[in-house]
């Protein structure tokens, strides 16, 4: 891959906001580590219930100060709060809930994704280990009704993350339906990556220039709305 | 049927070198820290610790000591390394994994949960969609190449699944918020995590509880782990955890 | 996320002829009697009722009516016939089973429990030691000979197991002692039985609750069934049961 | 099978008492329908915990009068009471407990048993049905650490119930370790049925006369003690 010029896209917070606006009221959602975690800030007060795979349904905002309780954390190991209607349960129930297709949407980060909806997130080969931290990622991919990826469009040094073929170990194959980056919103379709929206100041050509597979440009291509 | 032991040392006295011990906890939450410290003190060697989601990252001091004292043969977990690669390079556990002196075997978290649940519930093996399309479907994911045994897959109703097996450790170390003397336990909030399934899976389950009450003090509808799964209990002070992983 | 429906009739309005409905209850205990009466009133035909341990023996009047009105195509259960053979001969359900006009499919109770649990938890199939050495290992146990499909067995670590599959009914009728408006439920004592696993297994789960409370009124550590599994709720009067089976 | 003269053995209550004395303190026990249910009357106050497969641990005595609660029954559909230390749980947990070998002893009734420890109990072919009530019996056979059978030694009309080969559909094969009847206490050994005890007034020959397989007589043969 050639090194690319870094385009000035959305902040991580605004990627999270764009994903938040895609989530529908009345849904159960699980947010992965990284940008997905930031989504919770944007859905407070909405009728969206967060599941945390540690064994909690209706996870509240992050806890601070005296509200911090070492027996109450989210799956990213951050102290959180409970809400009215929160429930706790054990890990087998939690992953039954996940694998059993009770979660409407899981939003995950990724290291690489291709235009078939395959993605890699659990292991960076640069670390030089065959083993790694899988955590709950593969279960969420296998079980959520919809899988969204939220990530920076390229690596810090401008390398492709949206690739033709994964060179990193796959987390799951063909499961991703939507991809949200700092530059664009894309849908994974049977024909490939369909570009629906671009970030303010970014053109479809800009997005294509940092995307290895060929994009299909929606005839309704829009600028992202916030 | 009283399960209370006079001391934590007596409760773990028969754990021999080579034992396989289940360690619950989700990072720093719900980890049986007193029991881990007791097994360090006892000096038992050649241990296999079967985890679920990084309890040894939460109990980082205990992990460092276990590695330094050479007590570990193997760790099974879904998330057992520092998130940061650069911190990992300086971590004695990861160094031992890289050197192959400690085996590190990895499964998806839900598969870990289900392996304990199956072990406790008399289900020897089950099919799961989790891991299909990844190296998890191909074989056992471990740093020791010779142990990467093949896994079996099967198409059921048009979807591919991996066959995974029950896990039944010799011992489980359990941390509960409250327990009665017959072993009925309740956990606090997200500290429940792997505690219940591990209590069911092990041949001998030893529970440390922050509060010990008389039988009958827990509402029968509110018991999280029925006493039948608990063989030994001790009361311990509420542990202190830094809620962080790197 | 409020799940409360204005009436029981509206909560079951979309159940069509041919639906498969899970009916919990252990004999007379924990049976969703109001929902059964509502489906009788609605007159839905060709129903498959998937049970666990004789809820239709407990709700004997409802069973008689369902049979007499010709609403039943099939029942799946571990214990669905009168214990007494002479009483059974006079029972319209058993008569229909003998005549082959209603199919009756039988599994061991633990296998029924596990089939729902697997269905709810995304496990398509599992191995169990239960039934090995009996007709259960050979094939599906049903009065309809053509449907006695072969079962698979497998030796794991020297013991023989039967492969059984997940069960995912279209609907589940649930009876809970108390529930909040978001569907978090608690059951009373042994009325819990099959209610939780069936709530997880069905595509659409409808709960009748004796007491309906505002969200936040249940202790988060004491919820038996998290609201995610419950799609529709109605409040019903506490049913009356004769605690007996023949 | 030839019709046999009915021998005057123990009452059902005394069979239950004999089984009760075999149960050790500090054990978890599940009692099946019929004679096994009667055992609970004989262990009150002892350190034996009863599991009921409906989802209850530490089942108390039968409930009567105002103590009857329609939400609290045992697996035989009898109203029961709770004790200090009782717990309730769902059916998947209950059968996990059973299959997972957490129950020390299950005591079941039987229609037939042979000298290999096979037994039949769930279906009487006389009813003329291929289907029948399996209930929790096969799970208890598969999962309990020890399986005891408690039954009348012969049918009401004096036919063999202790047979060479089962003619009724098997509940489980080779799982029974002890057999308690109105006439005798027998152990199932690799060599066959070992007669340990006879009821008062009953001889080993009497027992053999109503037992199809050949009995091995213990050299320590005793009269049952109560």
Is the domain of C180 the same as that of C67?
yes
- Residue A11, phi then psi, degrees to nearest 5: -70, 165
Alpha-carbon span B54 to B112, nearest angstrom: 12
Residues of C in contact with B124 (CB under 8 A): 127, 129, 156-157, 159, 161
10-residue stretch averages of pLDDT, chain D, 226 residues long = 68 98 98 94 95 97 93 94 97 98 98 98 95 97 98 95 98 98 98 98 97 98 94
Is the domain of C90 the same as that of C205?
yes
Q: Quick: pLDDT tens for A145-178.
A: 999 999 999 999 999 999 999 999 999 999 999 9
The answer to whether C127 contacts B122, with C-beta atoms less than 8 Å apart, is: no
Residues of D in contact with C224 (CB under 8 A): 90
Neighbours of chain C (3+ CB pairs under 8 A): A, B, D
Alpha-carbon span C213 to B32, nearest angstrom: 36
Residue A201: pLDDT band with limits 50, 70, 90: very high
Element (H, E) at C171: strand C171-180
Is the domain of C23 the same as that of C102?
yes
The answer to whether C122 contacts A143, with C-beta atoms less than 8 Å apart, is: yes
User: With an 8 Å Cβ cutoff, is D69 touching chain B?
Assistant: no
Contacts 24+ apart (CB under 8 A), A63-69: A68/B243, A69/B189
The answer to whether B188 contacts A71, with C-beta atoms less than 8 Å apart, is: yes
Residue B224 lies in a domain: yes
Residues of B in contact with D57 (CB under 8 A): 226-228
User: CB-hemisphere CA count at 13 Å for B34?
Assistant: 21
Strand, helix or coil for residue C38: helix
Is the domain of C228 the same as that of C133?
no
Closest chain A C-alpha to C1 CA, distance in angstroms: 6
The answer to whether A139 contacts B130, with C-beta atoms less than 8 Å apart, is: yes
- Residue B173, phi then psi, degrees to nearest 5: -100, 120
Overall residue count recorded for chain B in this entry: 246
Q: What angle do CA C20, D137, D120 make, to 5 degrees?
A: 115
Is the domain of C82 the same as that of C183?
yes
Q: Give exposure, C13-41, as e/b (b: 16+ Cβ within 10 Å).
A: eebeeebbbbbbbbbbbbbbbbbbbbbbe
Tokens, residue D33: 């329908």
Residue C116 lies in a domain: no
10-residue stretch averages of pLDDT, chain C, 246 residues long = 97 98 96 98 98 95 96 98 92 97 98 98 98 98 97 98 98 98 98 98 98 97 98 95 70
Strand, helix or coil for residue C89: helix
Spell out the residues 6+ positions from residue A176 whose beta carbon is closer than 8 angstroms to its own: A113, A117, A118, A119, A147, A148, A149, A188
User: With an 8 Å Cβ cutoff, is C153 touching chain B?
Assistant: no
User: With an 8 Å Cβ cutoff, is D56 touching chain C?
Assistant: yes
Q: What integer best gives the mean pLDDT of chain A?
A: 95
Q: Quick: pLDDT tens for A54-81.
A: 999 999 999 999 999 999 999 999 999 9
Neighbours of chain B (3+ CB pairs under 8 A): A, C, D
In the block, residue with structure tokens 């049905």: D129
Contact B129, B111 (CB under 8 A): no
Tokens, residue A49: 């219930």
- Residue A58, phi then psi, degrees to nearest 5: 70, 60
pLDDT at A101: 98
User: With an 8 Å Cβ cutoff, is C215 touching chain A?
Assistant: yes
Is the domain of B90 the same as that of B154?
no
Is the domain of C161 the same as that of C171?
no
Residues of C in contact with B126 (CB under 8 A): 118, 123, 125-127
Residue C138 lies in a domain: yes
Is the domain of C103 the same as that of C156?
no
Domain boundaries, chain D: 12-218
Q: Quick: pLDDT tens for C109-121.
A: 999 999 999 999 9
Closest chain C C-alpha to D219 CA, distance in angstroms: 33
Alpha-carbon span B198 to A68, nearest angstrom: 27
Q: Quick: pLDDT tens for D65-118.
A: 999 999 999 999 999 999 999 999 999 999 999 999 999 999 999 999 999 999
**Which B residues in the span 158-197 are in contact with C, Cβ-Cβ below 8 Å?**
159, 161, 165, 186-189, 192
Question: Which residue, C10, C37, C24, is CA-closest to C78?
Answer: C24
Is the domain of B187 the same as that of B99?
yes
Q: What is the pLDDT along chain B (246 residues), one digit of tens a residue?
A: 999 999 999 999 999 999 999 999 999 999 999 999 999 999 999 999 999 999 999 999 999 999 999 999 999 999 999 998 999 999 999 999 999 999 999 999 999 999 999 999 999 999 999 999 999 999 999 999 999 999 999 999 999 999 999 999 999 999 999 999 999 999 999 999 999 999 999 999 999 999 999 999 999 999 999 999 999 999 999 988 877 765
User: With an 8 Å Cβ cutoff, is D142 touching chain B?
Assistant: yes
Contact D165, D113 (CB under 8 A): no
User: With an 8 Å Cβ cutoff, is B155 touching chain C?
Assistant: no
pLDDT at D3: 47
Residues of B in contact with D26 (CB under 8 A): 1
Question: Which residue, D75, D88, D94, is CA-closest to D34?
Answer: D75
The answer to whether C196 contacts D131, with C-beta atoms less than 8 Å apart, is: no
Residue B1 lies in a domain: no
Task: Nearest by CB to A92, from B30, B117, B135: name it.
Answer: B117
How many domains would you assign to chain C?
2
Q: Find the domain containing B183 and state its range.
A: 8-107+167-235
Structure-derived torsion over alpha carbons of residues C23, B118, B163, C138, reported in degrees to the nearest 10? -60
Residues of C in contact with B197 (CB under 8 A): none
Contact D121, D137 (CB under 8 A): yes
Q: Quick check: A82 pLDDT over 70?
A: yes
Closest chain A C-alpha to B136 CA, distance in angstroms: 9
Q: Quick check: A1 pLDDT over 90?
A: no
Alpha-carbon span C195 to C207, nearest angstrom: 9
Alpha-carbon span C173 to C224, nearest angstrom: 16
Alpha-carbon span A7 to A196, nearest angstrom: 18
The answer to whether C221 contacts B222, with C-beta atoms less than 8 Å apart, is: yes
Question: For A126-150, what is the HEC assignment?
Answer: HHCCCCCCCCCHHHHHHHCCEEEEE
Q: Catalytic residue positions of D? A: 53
pLDDT at B201: 98
Task: Nearest by CB to C134, from D53, D124, D169: name it.
Answer: D169
User: With an 8 Å Cβ cutoff, is A1 touching chain B?
Assistant: no
Spell out the residues 6+ positions from residue B158 whose beta carbon is closer than 8 angstroms to its own: none
A83 DSSP assignment: E
Question: Which residue, A177, A181, A144, is CA-closest to A162?
Answer: A181
Alpha-carbon span B72 to B18, nearest angstrom: 9
Is the domain of B43 the same as that of B137?
no
Is the domain of B173 the same as that of B140?
no
pLDDT at D57: 98
Contact C56, C96 (CB under 8 A): no
Question: Which residue, A61, A43, A170, A198, is CA-closest to A113?
Answer: A170
H-helix segments, C77-225: 85-89, 92-99, 109-120, 135-138, 195-201
Task: Nearest by CB to C156, from B124, B128, B129: name it.
Answer: B124
Return the percentage of chain A with pLDDT > 90, whole number: 96
DSSP A15-71: HHHHHHHHSPTTEEEEE-SSHHHHGGGGSTTSSEEEEETTTEEEEEEEP-GGG--TT
Q: Quick check: A93 pLDDT over 70?
A: yes
Residue B113 lies in a domain: no
Sheet of strand D112-114: strand arrangement: D119-120, D112-114, D162-163
Beta bridge partners of C164: C126
Residues of A in contact with C218 (CB under 8 A): 87
User: CB-hemisphere CA count at 13 Å for C150?
Assistant: 2
Residues of B in contact with A142 (CB under 8 A): 128-132
Q: Give the residue from C178, C228, C229 with the most A CB atoms within 10 Å of its CB, the best one to mutate.
A: C228
Residue B72 lies in a domain: yes
pLDDT at C243: 75
User: With an 8 Å Cβ cutoff, is B18 touching chain A?
Assistant: no
Tokens, residue C4: 């409360």
CATH number of B29's domain: 3.40.1080.10
Strand, helix or coil for residue D137: helix
pLDDT at A84: 97
Alpha-carbon span C221 to A82, nearest angstrom: 11
Q: Give exposure, A172-200, as e/b (b: 16+ Cβ within 10 Å).
A: bbebbbbbbbbbbbbbbeeebbbbbbbbe
pLDDT at B241: 80
Closest chain A C-alpha to C21 CA, distance in angstroms: 18
Alpha-carbon span C226 to A95, nearest angstrom: 13
Is the domain of B75 the same as that of B184?
yes
Question: For chain B, what is the HEC assignment?
Answer: CCCECCCHHHHCCCCCCCCEEECCCECCECCCHHHHHHHHHHCCCCEEEECCECHHHHCHHHHHHHHHCCCEEEEEECCCCCCCHHHHHCCHHHHHHHHCCCEEEECCHHHHHHHHHHHHHCCCEEEECCCCCCHHHHECEECCHHHCCECCEEEECCEEEEEEECCCCCEEEEEEEEEECCCCEECCHHHCCCHHHHHHHCCEEEEEEEEEECCCCCCHHHCCECHHHCCEEEECCCCCCCCCCC
The answer to whether C243 contacts D54, with C-beta atoms less than 8 Å apart, is: no
User: What would you report as the CA-atom Rg of chain D, rounded to the nearest whole angstrom?
Assistant: 17
Tokens, residue C55: 């809820």
Residues of B in contact with A60 (CB under 8 A): none
Q: What integer best gives the mean pLDDT of chain C?
A: 96
Alpha-carbon span D78 to D74, nearest angstrom: 5
Closest chain D C-alpha to B199 CA, distance in angstroms: 11
Q: Quick: pLDDT tens for B161-198.
A: 999 999 999 999 999 999 999 999 999 999 999 999 99
Alpha-carbon span C238 to C241, nearest angstrom: 10
Closest chain A C-alpha to C235 CA, distance in angstroms: 18
Tokens, residue D51: 């599991």
**Which C residues in the span 77-116 are in contact with B, Cβ-Cβ below 8 Å?**
114
User: CB-hemisphere CA count at 13 Å for B46?
Assistant: 5
User: With an 8 Å Cβ cutoff, is A118 touching chain B?
Assistant: yes
10 Å Cβ neighbour count for A34?
18
Residue C137 lies in a domain: yes
The fold of the A12-218 domain, in CATH, is: Glutaconate Coenzyme A-transferase (3.40.1080)
């Amino acid at each position: 891959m050639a090194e690319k010029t870094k385009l000035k896209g959305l902040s991580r917070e605004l990627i999270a906001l764009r994903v938040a606006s895609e989530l529908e009221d009345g849904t159960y959602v699980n947010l992965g580590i990284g940008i997905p975690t930031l989504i919770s800030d944007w859905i407070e007060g909405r009728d969206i219930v967060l599941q945390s795979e540690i064994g909690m349904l209706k996870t509240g905002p992050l806890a601070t100060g005296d509200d911090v309780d070492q027996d109450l954390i989210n799956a990213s190991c951050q102290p959180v709060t409970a809400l009215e209607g929160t429930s706790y349960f054990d890990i087998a129930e939690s992953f039954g809930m996940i694998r059993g297709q009770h979660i409407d949407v899981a939003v995950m980060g990724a290291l690489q994704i291709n235009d078939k909806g395959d993605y890699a997130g659990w292991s960076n080969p640069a670390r030089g280990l065959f083993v790694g931290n899988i955590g709950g990622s593969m279960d969420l991919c296998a079980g959520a009704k919809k899988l969204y990826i939220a990530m920076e469009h390229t690596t810090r040094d401008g390398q492709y993350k949206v690739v033709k073929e994964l060179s990193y170990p796959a987390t799951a194959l063909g499961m991703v339906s939507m991809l949200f980056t700092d530059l664009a919103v894309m849908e994974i379709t049977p024909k490939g990556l369909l570009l629906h929206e671009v970030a303010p100041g970014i053109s479809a050509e800009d997005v294509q220039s940092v995307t290895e597979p060929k994009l299909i440009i929606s005839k309704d291509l829009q600028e992202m709305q916030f | 049927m009283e399960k209370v032991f006079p001391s934590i040392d007596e409760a773990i006295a028969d754990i021999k070198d080579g034992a396989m011990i289940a360690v619950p906890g989700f990072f720093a939450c719900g980890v049986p820290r007193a029991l881990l410290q007791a097994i360090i003190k006892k000096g038992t060697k050649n241990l296999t610790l079967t985890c679920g989601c990084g309890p040894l990252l939460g109990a980082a001091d205990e992990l460092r000591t276990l590695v330094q004292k050479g007590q570990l043969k193997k760790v099974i977990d879904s998330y057992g390394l520092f998130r940061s690669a650069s911190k990992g390079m300086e971590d004695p556990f990861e160094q031992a994994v890289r050197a192959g002196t400690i085996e590190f075997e990895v499964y998806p978290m839900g598969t870990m949960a289900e392996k304990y649940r199956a072990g406790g519930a008399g289900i020897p093996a089950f099919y799961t969609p989790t891991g299909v399309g990844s190296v998890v479907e191909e074989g056992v994911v471990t740093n020791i190449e010779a142990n990467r045994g093949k896994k079996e897959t099967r198409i059921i109703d048009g979807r591919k699944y991996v066959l995974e097996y029950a896990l039944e450790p010799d011992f489980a170390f359990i941390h509960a918020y409250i327990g009665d003397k017959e072993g009925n336990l309740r956990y606090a909030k997200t500290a429940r995590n792997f505690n219940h399934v591990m209590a069911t899976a092990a041949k001998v389950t030893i529970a440390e509880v922050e509060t010990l009450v008389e039988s009958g003090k827990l509402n029968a509808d509110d018991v999280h782990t029925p006493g039948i799964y608990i063989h030994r209990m001790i009361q311990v002070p509420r542990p202190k955890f830094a809620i962080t992983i790197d």
